[in-house]
Amino acid sequence: MFTIKGKTTDWEVVIGLETHIEVLSNSKIFSGASADYNPTIKPNTQVSMVDAAMPGMLPVLNEYCVEQAIKFGLGINAEISHRSKFARKQYFYPDLPQGYQISQPAEEPPVVGRGWIEIMGDDGNKKKIFIERAHLEQDAAKNKHDMHPSKSFVDLNRSGVTLLEIVTFLDTKNPENNSYISSPDEAERYLREIREIARALGVSKANMEEGSMRADVNVSVRPAGSNEFRTRTETKNMISFKFIKSAIEYEARRQIEIYENGGTVSQDTMRYSQADGTTSVLRSKENALDYRYFPDPDLLPLIITDEQIERIRKTMPELPAATRARYIADYGLKEYDAARLTETTDISHWFDCAVGNKKERGKIIANWMISELFAHPENWDEKNSGKISDDPDAPRIITPSDLAELVDMIAASEINGKQAKEIFIKMLDGETGTPREIADKFGMKQITDTAAIERVIDEIIAANPSQVEQYKSGKVGLLGFFVGNVMRATGGQANPAVVSEMMKSKLN
Ligand code: ADP
Ligand code: MG
């Protein structure tokens, strides 16, 4: 249990996340304009009359975005509402030409209702995190202040792009139900899981660096062991796991200090400063915005049928939680490694291809991927597209079958681990051919001929009488010294396991 030491008592934190993911779709939620607003696209070129809020324009709901929301809802084990509405959430901001954002009303069921996902809790056990709702809404445009010293600009390309906002649930009526996030690490694991589900389903890139995923962080504290929910603050628009964790921790300590000095926390909206990791009040409760939600008169209620839900359910791929469970059960992977291999479906597919139908390869391939391949993103194609560049200077792409062959060669004692590493490095350096061809070309073969190894062992023993004496009088740690010498004398080509066994029996 994550706690923070106070002056007289320990404190625990209660966390609620409102996560926005940008829905992948060709066009925007209520217009036919392209939803691609990446920075290389000229500002204000992907804008329809609807997105520019020209008077009298009518929004038309994008059915594909609704399907994406349903898909995500099924991915988080949620109820899908058969009927939900769109409402206008009103506020003024220069990047919001309508003067309101079309969202789904806060007080009524949105398209995705109550659901849950599972993460690893801080105690190492699986923990359910309940989700209250996920609703569809429009993204705002983008203000640009840094292009001209005295002018600000608005780029409407992002105006009207589809967002899905996912809100975690806090069961205030049953405070003993602890299915909510209660530490900075759990917050990160929750966000990673949301990200992986969204990616596996193709619902969103859910990439914080690129801005396709961001979160508002609600935090309150209470004395450890108590069941009360105290006043929370909300820190807006967080865009990295690291900052989110730091903001939670800072905000919790700030609140604890207030309580310990006899004060009360007010329900403020906070801003996080990346420069010094602090939070400060953006607006206080007294100045809380009254959005005056009201049903959008231009949009009919959203009706979803069981047939539609079932049709989408049939297209659901294996979700990351199931893939991870499969890797752990079939290959004995650690939870953490399984998580690395399921960060995207492309990665897990690459891994599945490399393992093929040889289960025994699973663990060692996972190790090679995580410790070697991931360190060289330029040398592998996550998508395993099979594309080989025509450019002779392009880096060599290591394929699933390359890695499978390398691993099989070790398993068959054709080469040892050190030689495998050398072959791998040669591939990184652009050497073409399969690992076996490279081994042949460079004469890398493991010596398993015991007579040859024995000759070298005898030489090493003869050359180191004092070490032999010490070994015999109990310093068995010297075995490594002898094995190392044999390996060096054979140019690293001997099988270290065989050398070690033979050396032991000789010395005894
Ligand atoms: P609002 O309508 O003001 O945005 P919500 O009820 O939608 O508030 O809650 C927003 C988020 O804050 C939810 O994830 C919710 O679980 C969380 N939350 C609510 N109360 C608390 C609290 N006391 N401590 C921490 N998080 C909270
Ligand atoms: Mg809310």
| Ligand 2 centroid to residue 34 C-alpha, Å | 28
Nearest atom, ligand 1, residue 229 CA: 23
| Ligand 2 centroid to residue 493 C-alpha, Å | 64
Query: 238 exposed, middle or buried (CB, 10 Å; 0-12, 13-18, 19+)?
Result: buried
Q: Which string of b and e fits 112-132 if b means at least 16 CB within 10 Å?
A: bbebebebbbeeeeebebbbb
Separation between Cα atoms, residue 458 and residue 260, nearest integer Å: 74
| Ligand 1 centroid to residue 173 C-alpha, Å | 13
Residue with the two structure tokens 């070690």: 500
Each of the 508 residues of the chain gets a pLDDT tens digit; together they read 899 999 999 999 999 999 999 999 999 999 999 999 888 999 999 999 999 999 999 999 999 999 999 999 999 999 999 999 999 999 999 999 999 999 999 889 999 999 999 998 998 888 999 999 999 999 999 998 877 788 899 999 999 999 999 999 999 999 889 999 999 999 999 999 999 999 999 999 999 999 999 999 999 999 999 999 999 999 999 999 999 999 999 999 999 999 999 999 999 999 999 999 999 999 887 777 788 899 999 999 999 999 999 999 999 999 999 999 999 999 999 988 999 999 888 899 999 999 999 999 999 999 999 999 999 988 888 877 666 667 777 888 999 999 999 999 999 888 888 899 999 999 999 898 999 999 989 888 777 778 888 889 999 999 999 999 999 999 989 999 999 998 888 888 888 888 888 998 888 8
**Count of other CB atoms within 10 angstroms of residue 63:** 11
- Structure-token pair, residue 9: 């008592």
* E-state strands within 228-362: 233-238, 269-273, 278-283, 294-295, 302-303
| Helix, strand, or coil (residue 410) | helix
Task: Name the residue of 107, 137, 170 to mutate for ligand 1: max ligand atoms within 8 A of Cβ.
Answer: 170
On the CB side of 210, how many CA atoms lie within 13 Å of its CA?
A: 13
User: Which residue CA neighbors atom 22 of ligand 1 most closely?
Assistant: 232
User: Which residue CA neighbors atom 1 of ligand 1 most closely?
Assistant: 106
| Ligand 2 centroid to residue 26 C-alpha, Å | 28
Separation between Cα atoms, residue 267 and residue 220, nearest integer Å: 10
